[in-house]
Structure 1
Amino acid sequence: MTTAITGGYGFLGWHTACRLRAVHGTEPVRLGRADFADPAVLAQALTGVDRIVHIAGVNRAENDEAVELGNIELARTLAAAIKAAGRPMDVVFANSVQADLDNAYGRGKAAAADLIGDAVRASGGRFADLLLPNLFGEHGRPGYNSFVATFAHEVAAGRTPTVSGDREIPLLHAQGAAAALIAALGSDVREVVAAESRGIGEVLALLQRSHELYATSGEIPPLPGQFEVDLFNTYRAAAFPQMWPLSPQVHADNRGDLFETVRAHGGTGQAFVSTTNPGQVRGEHYHLHKVERFFVVKGEAEISLRRLLHDDVVSFRLSGDKPSFVDMPTLWVHNIRNVGGSELVTMFWADQLLDLDNPDQYPEKVALP
């Protein structure tokens, strides 16, 4: 079956498209603003589509009326396109927990659910209305998607955000939201997606702790649970690629050199070493959650990375003459190539113990065909 994602180029849309590709081996149809120009354009874009994840929405605008009406208009356009298709379509709506509140955003989302739900049921399809909490994750837009995105970018830039009205906020990583949306396809349900409540000040403190340890020396902060890993990966995305590569202090005497490769402050971890012959490549994959380090100990290497579903490639040259490392951001395809004339020795470190049944490793080449 073919799945379309409205808002497919936005924050949650990108995460959902990445998850469909990684976990389900599906290439979704990603729909953006141009596809909502009018119902006929959208109906044409939905040709051959069986299922829709409706994520497109308006979070912020010049005034409250624009927020409310913007969400209603997007839903009205989608509803008209579903009716024009004249066949059953299953739809999952990325709604908000605010849909039950009397504010502009909530009213807009609630009205959107009614419009889309009526159109889907009239077509003979199934409609899942998922109420999502506050979302965070890699590559969120500061000042738009969430306070976590704003904090992560500010902290990564060396600035100190302020907290006003500190309180606990239900938070869910975007990959968790994507998993829930995908799982709900084909069902008739209205439910609130579970989240983990964290204080605003607590989130800022965790990000600042990560920055203090990581930004200059690459020390891994305490990662006792999945929330901390997800928040750290959000910070790492905001800091990439500016902070790389890093080189540790080398202690040398008549016996040779000594340097640290990883200093972790808590959580699991696993390290291994590889040799790579001249011209050969390792990697060519990406991760959804794993923190991974490539440390070049000996030889000449080029590390290349490409953000999933994007085209631009970022590359770093590293040499064993100056031992250094780069950490792989989540949802970036990466590889390491021996570009020297002798053996390349690389140490790899990850925060996860290898689980052969669930390795969090998805094959893809950095270079596009």
Structure 2
Amino acid sequence: MKVLLTGAGGFLGWHTRARLQALTAHDVVAVTRAQWPDLAALARGADAVVHIAGVNRGDDAEVERGNLDLARDVADAVRASGSAPRIVFADSIQAGGDSPYGRGKRAAADVLARAADDVGSALVDVRLPNLFGEHGRPRYNSFVATFVDAVMRGEPPQVADRPVDLLHVQAAAQTLLDALAAPAGRIEPAGTPTTVAAVLRTLRDLDRVYAGSDIPPLLTELDVDLFNTLRTARFPASYPLALTRRTDDRGSLVEVVRAHGGQGQTFVSTTRPGITRGEHFHLRKVERFVVLAGTARISLRRLFTEKIVNFDVAGETPVVVDMPTGWAHNITNTGAGELTTLFWTHELFDPAAPDTFPEAVGT
């Protein structure tokens, strides 16, 4: 189906676009702020509209009015689309409250519901709890992003402890995808119960262990999601991660993976000169590359962007490059001889859910 995705350049929008590419064959029309003036034309013939674009910072009037105005633009585009697109609205649990943001979101849902009625389609109102995840902006998208930034800087953030339900942004994106086939009505996905202070403690523990190139304990889904959020924020400035080679008259030893808890899988490959492996991305998996012999270039590109990050590595001085989620990556043998590479992932390979999606690094 043709899916119009608003807010595609934002936090939730980017993750939803990545998940749509990975898991569906839909024709996705990504609408960012730059394309907003062309919204009506882009919506023509749409089978579904996933409306994520929103305003969550500004003065009270800007926040309330901004969310309502965006919904009105989407409603007008739906009515002019020449079709009857299902509307999936990325709403907020705050829509039940009386804050400017909550009032704006609630009014936006009403506008979209009327548009769905006018064209004979359905509205699925997805009320999301506190979101966090990779590429969140500090002091904007989530307190988790703010904490990650503070931990990386070695600064103590201000903490007002309270219970909180956290939903990883990829889980939120999956809820929006599920809503494309759900009956009209409201969906309220549940987050993981925790506290603000517990999140900060976990992030500090993860960072302390990872600073030494070790893999911290990944015992729960929340651990994995927080770790992926942290290590993506560290990329690419903190990479490659150094490894220590210990040598005596018998030879040398390098500890490549020191995992402090959880499962994992290790495999080794050889690659002929000039050959490239990889050309894919992951949504969740923690994957580590370490060249043990030969020379190689490891290249990565964040989805829907053009800049490529390169690391030239050699087995003589082994280092770690961990692949951030949502980044296409590959490894090319740049030497004259055979390349030997060790790969490690934090979970056992599941052929039913491999979390590996083809995507060339070069565009």
1:136 corresponds to 2:132: yes
2:122 aligned to which of 120, 123, 126: 126
2:352 aligned to which of 351, 354, 357: 357
Match of 1:160 in 2: 156
Question: Structure 1 unaligned runs (5+)?
Answer: none
* Native 8 Å contact 1:17 1:27 kept in 2: no
1:71 corresponds to 2:75: no
1:60 corresponds to 2:57: yes
- Partner secondary structure for residue 14 of structure 1: helix
* Native 8 Å contact 2:300 2:361 kept in 1: yes
1:275 aligned to which of 265, 270, 273: 270
* Native 8 Å contact 2:44 2:80 kept in 1: no
- Partner secondary structure for residue 53 of structure 1: strand
Query: In the aligned structure 1, how far is the partner of 2:62 from the partner of 2:35?
Result: 20
1:24 corresponds to 2:19: no
Match of 2:184 in 1: 188
Instruction: Give the TM-score normalised by structure 1.
Output: 0.96
Query: In the aligned structure 2, how far is the partner of 1:98 from the partner of 1:354?
Result: 39
Per-residue deviation at 1:66? 1.0
Query: In the aligned structure 1, how far is the partner of 2:361 from the partner of 2:7?
Result: 25
Per-residue deviation at 1:158? 3.1
Deviations 1:74-108 (A, max 9, x none): 11111122122243110000000000111111000
Letter in 2 for 1:45: L
- Partner secondary structure for residue 330 of structure 2: strand
* Native 8 Å contact 2:15 2:170 kept in 1: yes
Match of 1:287 in 2: 282
* Native 8 Å contact 2:45 2:82 kept in 1: no
Match of 1:223 in 2: 218
Q: How many pairs align?
A: 362
* Native 8 Å contact 1:284 1:334 kept in 2: yes
Per-residue deviation at 1:281? 1.0
Per-residue deviation at 1:191? 2.5
- Partner secondary structure for residue 130 of structure 1: strand
* Native 8 Å contact 2:4 2:29 kept in 1: yes
* Native 8 Å contact 2:45 2:83 kept in 1: no
Deviations 1:197-242 (A, max 9, x none): 2111111111111111112x21111110111101100001110001
Match of 2:40 in 1: 43
Q: Percent identity over the alignment?
A: 51
Query: In the aligned structure 2, how far is the partner of 1:243 from the partner of 1:231?
Result: 17
Query: In the aligned structure 1, how far is the partner of 2:303 from the partner of 2:120?
Result: 35
- Partner secondary structure for residue 85 of structure 1: coil
Query: In the aligned structure 1, how far is the partner of 2:74 from the partner of 2:291?
Result: 51
- Partner secondary structure for residue 194 of structure 2: strand
Match of 1:96 in 2: 92
1:204 aligned to which of 182, 200, 203: 200
Per-residue deviation at 1:27? 4.2
Deviations 1:38-84 (A, max 9, x none): xxx321121232101000101111x1111111101111111122122
Query: In the aligned structure 2, how far is the partner of 1:342 from the partner of 1:35?
Result: 48
Letter in 1 for 2:231: R
1:7 corresponds to 2:14: no
Per-residue deviation at 1:35? 3.6
Between stretches 150-159 and 260-269, larger displacement belongs to: 150-159
Letter in 2 for 1:203: V
* Native 8 Å contact 1:304 1:313 kept in 2: yes
Aligned CA distance change for structure 1 residues 27 and 149 (closer, same or farther; 3 Å): farther
* Native 8 Å contact 1:153 1:239 kept in 2: no
Match of 2:329 in 1: 334
Question: Structure 2 unaligned runs (5+)?
Answer: none
Between stretches 290-299 and 23-32, larger displacement belongs to: 23-32
Q: CA RMSD for the aligned pairs?
A: 1.1
Query: In the aligned structure 1, how far is the partner of 2:169 from the partner of 2:141?
Result: 11
1:256 aligned to which of 239, 251, 258: 251
Match of 1:314 in 2: 309
- Partner secondary structure for residue 154 of structure 2: coil
Letter in 1 for 2:5: I
Letter in 1 for 2:84: P
Query: In the aligned structure 2, how far is the partner of 1:71 from the partner of 1:264?
Result: 45
- Partner secondary structure for residue 50 of structure 2: strand
1:146 aligned to which of 133, 142, 145: 142
Instruction: Give the TM-score normalised by structure 2.
Output: 0.97
Aligned CA distance change for structure 1 residues 159 and 122 (closer, same or farther; 3 Å): same
Query: In the aligned structure 2, how far is the partner of 1:348 from the partner of 1:252?
Result: 23
Letter in 1 for 2:43: L
